[in-house]
Amino acid sequence: MDIDLVYLWVNGNDPKWIVKRNACIGRPSGGQAHCKGRYADSGELKYSLRSVEKYAPWIRRIFIVTDNQTPEWLNTDNQKVQIVDHKQIMPAECLPCFNSAVIEQFIGNIPGLSEHFLYANDDMYFGKPVQPQDFFGKDNLPKVFLFRKPLRKLALFYREKILGKKLNPYLNTIKNAAVLVEKRYGKYYGGKQHHNIDAYLKSTFELVNKEFENELREMRTHHMRSSDDIQRCIYSYVALAEKRAHLCYVSKRHSFRIQIENRSLYETFKQYNPKLFCMNDSERAKDEDRAFAINFISSLFPVKSEFEK
């Protein structure tokens, strides 16, 4: 079967883009939803594509969803990769958009996207050779990768209702998705998202966008991330509830996330030697952390790929 790969990418260093962002949602505030790490670009996508060429050459086409931008190093003559502008897939009421949770709603609108596809942020990488069966079962249904958290619903309730602590915006968007699916299907999925490369069916995006049309529509004017957003995991949860996916609990040997400001995680990463990994930027990271991270990732993928000029 054909399997495509979709990325979201932004060059937060682009002066024109900065003017557009500042006019719409203001300068980065330093909070989780609107910090420099949300938009910073150090060339992560270039190295992610190197990992594709090295470890997943069977991917048919690669779509890079952007806001009227193209990486200066990208070989646009390569027929395997295509830039997709927000305007091509998103309604006018959403634009300009600096909220990945909104952009992700419209991935299924990408012209020519295959039914089976992988989705990644630009800071996610293949760490070892992978095959389609690593992401899709024998029945061609996607595998949903979660870390086992059997008491997650209770833990969130205790944190909010008993201790009186608010969830951070990201955790709240995941909870929003889980609650909606529970109300619709009577099933609560509490496994922790592995925050890495995921597999989907385009038809599941169409199903979810129809079933939860009203709830998702309310997000369209959230130009910046909000605690009221619905995280992309809703597509995986619905796929599981509809028996259109396989639940797979994973370990750090399969999927590993490095918070780039935490240098100790680099050594831990080497110990696990994972199949998939993410170099996660955040409101806690500084420019020296970003420089350290890109030096590390460039040492893993030093060879120029076919996607570069």
CB-count exposure of residue 90 (10 Å: 0-12, 13-18, 19+): buried
Residue 157's contacts (CB-CB under 8 Å, 6 or more residues apart) are none
Lowest mean pLDDT among 39-43, 50-54, 118-122, 173-177: 39-43
- pLDDT tens across 53-107, in order? 999 999 999 999 999 999 999 999 999 999 999 999 999 999 999 999 999 999 9
pLDDT at 191: 84
- pLDDT tens across 133-156, in order? 999 999 999 999 999 877 788 888
For the chain, the average pLDDT equals: 94
Residue-range domain boundaries for the chain: 3-300
In whole angstroms, give the CA distance from residue 157 to residue 159.
5
Nearest C-alpha neighbor of 110 from the set 256, 228, 4, 269: 4
Q: Whose structure tokens read 């008491």? A: 151
CB-count exposure of residue 104 (10 Å: 0-12, 13-18, 19+): buried
- For the entire predicted model, the pTM comes to 0.94
Q: Which CATH class is domain 3-300?
A: alpha beta
In whole angstroms, give the CA distance from residue 140 to residue 239.
13
